[in-house]
Amino acid sequence: MRQLDVIGSGPDTVVLSGLCARCPYSAGGCCVAPPRYDLSDVARVVAHGGRDWLLAQLAAKRIRQAEGGYWLTLARPKRPLGEGGPREAACVFLTSSGCSIAHEQKPATCNYYVCDAAVAEDAAQAPTRREAHERLVQFFVTLDAKLHEQVTNHWGDAFAFDAPHLDWLAEQYREQVAAFRGI
């Protein structure tokens, strides 16, 4: 792997950095503060066949519905993240060998975010990586707003993270992604 590798494109983009394995900030890296699953993340997971996986994680409380919100949060149990290290809270899916879930199951931010130190390590590619990052951020912000509006208009307060609602959400996601070919 080069310093930064980009795999795929559009909402399924994955950016990998060799620096993550030796994070200068924490033994848990970014996973000490994992992002939430916004509606677009939930819809993307379900659209990739992960509905039953997501429902199982909700049932096991590894992923939880945010109180009063249309998003989900990742559990962050405290445990030693490095050999002999202190107990730290980090994403429930973080293991000693990295993330234990597939890219299709992660919040999109987990797939495309890399810190400034990782970008600086591959300075020649920094502007390209930051531009791609900003396009993805804008895409997901816009998509989340559209999905939130659709959920509110269609379901109102009756929306739940259950199979029928998740299937409906994934269909809305597919339609929105098909309309957004510019990322």
pTM listed for this prediction: 0.89
What pairs with residue 98 in β-bridges? 95
Whole-Å CA distances, 105 to 50, 86, 115, 120, 143: 7, 28, 21, 28, 18
* Mean per-residue pLDDT, 36-48: 96
Token digits of residue 2: 């080069």
Q: What percent of the chain has pLDDT over 70?
A: 93
First vs last C-alpha separation in the chain:
24
Residues 44 and 37: beta-carbon distance below 8 Å: no
Report the C-alpha gap between 105 and 182 in whole angstroms: 23
1: pLDDT confidence band, cut at 50, 70 and 90?
very low
- Give the pLDDT confidence score for residue 21 in this predicted structure: 79
Could you count the other beta carbons within 10 Å of the beta carbon of residue 121?
17
- Give the pLDDT confidence score for residue 12 in this predicted structure: 86
- Give the pLDDT confidence score for residue 52 in this predicted structure: 98
Q: Does the pLDDT of residue 44 top 60, yes or no?
A: yes
Q: Does the pLDDT of residue 88 top 80, yes or no?
A: yes
* Mean per-residue pLDDT, 28-48: 94
Q: Average pLDDT of the chain?
A: 88
2: pLDDT confidence band, cut at 50, 70 and 90?
low
- Give the pLDDT confidence score for residue 73 in this predicted structure: 95
Q: Which amino acid is residue 132, in one-letter code?
A: A
Burial class of 39 by CB neighbour count within 10 A (0 to 12, 13 to 18, 19+): buried
Q: Does the pLDDT of residue 93 top 90, yes or no?
A: yes
Residues 145 and 152: beta-carbon distance below 8 Å: no
- Give the pLDDT confidence score for residue 120 in this predicted structure: 78
* Mean per-residue pLDDT, 105-128: 81
Report the C-alpha gap between 129 and 123 in whole angstroms: 10
- Give the pLDDT confidence score for residue 181 in this predicted structure: 64
Residue for token pair 């000693």: 96
Q: Does the pLDDT of residue 182 top 70, yes or no?
A: no
Report the C-alpha gap between 62 and 48 in whole angstroms: 19
18: pLDDT confidence band, cut at 50, 70 and 90?
confident
